[in-house]
Amino acid sequence: MVSEKPSKKHRLKRKELIRDIFFIFSEEYEKSDADSIWDIKIPMETLLNFLKERYKANYTSSAWVKLQIRRYEQQIREKLFNINKENNNGEQLFISINKNMHNFFQQHHLYISHKIKMANGIYGIIQDFIKTHSITRPLNILLGSGTNPYFVANIIAQKSWEKNDRYNIYTHNMGIIKKLSGTRINPDKINLFVPAGRVDPGKNTIMGEDNNLYRSIKFDFIVQSTRYLYDGKLYVEREEEAVRKRCILNECRGIKILALIKDEIIDKIDEGMVCYGELNRYDYIVTPKTRSSKKRAYDTLFQQYKDKLEEEIINWNYCIFKVKN
């Protein structure tokens, strides 16, 4: 009798492993009392259990996970995680997200559960608009730079085979361009339009001053994110990035939506930050709703805008506020 070979342990591909670890951090933060996702520390043994329970990935020790993380970091030349011993916990290993991480593709995975919630809220606004106005033509939607608008594009791409809605998507977001020009979307439902400019790989966006394409369109919706929100004003880190954001916010026509995790809200500005507009230029703000009952620091900062906002929809997963003008 021939003995059966032992089954090979299921392990995730390196890129999938990194993505799933970020998702675990997002979920842990959501139900925690921590003020920031940077404050979350997960014991490596707990992380291994999460990977086994949620993704059926069987790792008997942390050594393989640590090796895959380090190899991926070497590949992208970016330190994503800190893995350190905590002496007051019996030399137990803990993993946390590196606060100095700048790589766009990994920023994409930060707060991923929050971003998915916001995207569903924004998609709900779009669907309600289609239903209320009996829209049969393609919708004109501008999706801005940053990672938050990407998840709206992701839903539109997924639904392109299921629903009859048609879209003209305008974007300078390289992640969205890649998503909507791939083979998995229905080309009969989505047309993609892109402005001229310089590709910035660090920001994963097309920078430029040629915004006549955007100015020429009456958009149904304009969806943007921001790097910082301070005292009712919106900021980014460089003037080059502000040029297109400023044009979209102040010159383009359409219902404007700001996707806001709320960690963008700050209590002081640093030298060099560039303002590109004011919060009251938006029609709606969409934020995620978390399971934690903890009032975080950014929730307190968000209260300063209470008189400027009107609750439109409070869902289990997201909140939609109408901006009073």
CATH value at residue 118: 3.40.50.10470
Q: Are residues 204 and 316 in the same domain?
A: yes
Would you say residue 2 lies in a domain? no
Q: Shortest CA distance to 45 belongs to which of 91, 14, 9?
A: 91
Would you say residue 152 lies in a domain? yes
Would you say residue 7 lies in a domain? no
Question: Taking every pair of C-alpha atoms in the chain, what is the biggest distance, in angstroms?
Answer: 80
Q: Which two tokens stand for residue 317?
A: 């997963």
Q: Are residues 155 and 67 in the same domain?
A: no
Q: Are residues 223 and 301 in the same domain?
A: yes
Q: Are residues 265 and 284 in the same domain?
A: yes
Would you say residue 187 lies in a domain? yes
Domain closes at, from 54, 82, 106: 106
Would you say residue 178 lies in a domain? yes
Compute the distance between CA of residue 230 and CA of residue 163 in angstroms, rounded to an integer: 39
Q: Shortest CA distance to 108 belongs to which of 159, 179, 51?
A: 179
Domain closes at, from 106, 136, 167: 106
Please write down the HEC assignment for all residues of the chain: CCCCCCCCCCCCCHHHHHHHHHHHHHHHHHCCCCCCHHHCCEEHHHHHHHHHHHHCCCCCCHHHHHHHHHHHHHHHCCCCEEEEEEHHHCCEEEEEECCCCCCHHHHCCCCHHHHHHHHHHHHHHHHHHHHHCCCCCCEEEEECCCCHHHHHHHHHHHHCCCCCCCEEEEECEHHHHHHHCCCCCCCCCEEEECCCCEEECCCCEEECCCCHHHHCCEEEEEEECCCEEECCEEEECCHHHHHHHHHHHHHCEEEEEEECCCCCECCCCCCCCEEEEEHHHCCEEEEECCCCCCCCHHHHHHHHHHHHEEEEEECCCEEEEEECC
Alpha carbon separation from 110 to 32, 50, 189 (Å, rounded):
16, 18, 30
For position 88, what pLDDT does the model report? 62
Q: Are residues 124 and 82 in the same domain?
A: no
Q: Are residues 121 and 79 in the same domain?
A: no
For position 110, what pLDDT does the model report? 84
Q: Are residues 78 and 154 in the same domain?
A: no
Would you say residue 46 lies in a domain? yes
For position 202, what pLDDT does the model report? 81
Q: Are residues 158 and 288 in the same domain?
A: yes
Q: Are residues 127 and 172 in the same domain?
A: yes
* pTM, rounded to two decimals: 0.86
For position 103, what pLDDT does the model report? 57
Q: Are residues 24 and 117 in the same domain?
A: no
Compute the distance between CA of residue 234 and CA of residue 259 in angstroms, rounded to an integer: 12
Would you say residue 6 lies in a domain? no
Would you say residue 140 lies in a domain? yes
For position 34, what pLDDT does the model report? 85
Q: Are residues 76 and 221 in the same domain?
A: no
Burial of residue 131 (number of CB atoms within 10 Å: 0-12, 13-18, 19+): exposed
Count: domains in the chain: 2
Please give the chain's pLDDT, 325 residues, in tens: 444 444 456 788 898 999 899 989 988 988 888 888 889 999 999 999 999 998 888 888 899 999 999 999 898 888 899 998 876 656 789 999 998 876 555 567 788 889 999 999 999 999 999 999 999 999 999 999 988 999 999 999 999 999 999 999 999 999 999 999 988 899 999 999 999 999 998 889 999 999 999 999 999 999 999 999 999 999 999 999 999 999 999 999 999 999 999 989 999 988 899 999 999 999 999 999 987 777 888 889 999 999 999 999 999 999 999 999 7
For position 30, what pLDDT does the model report? 85
Q: Are residues 195 and 97 in the same domain?
A: no
For residue 265, what are the β-bridge partners? 229
- Show the domain range for 280: 111-323
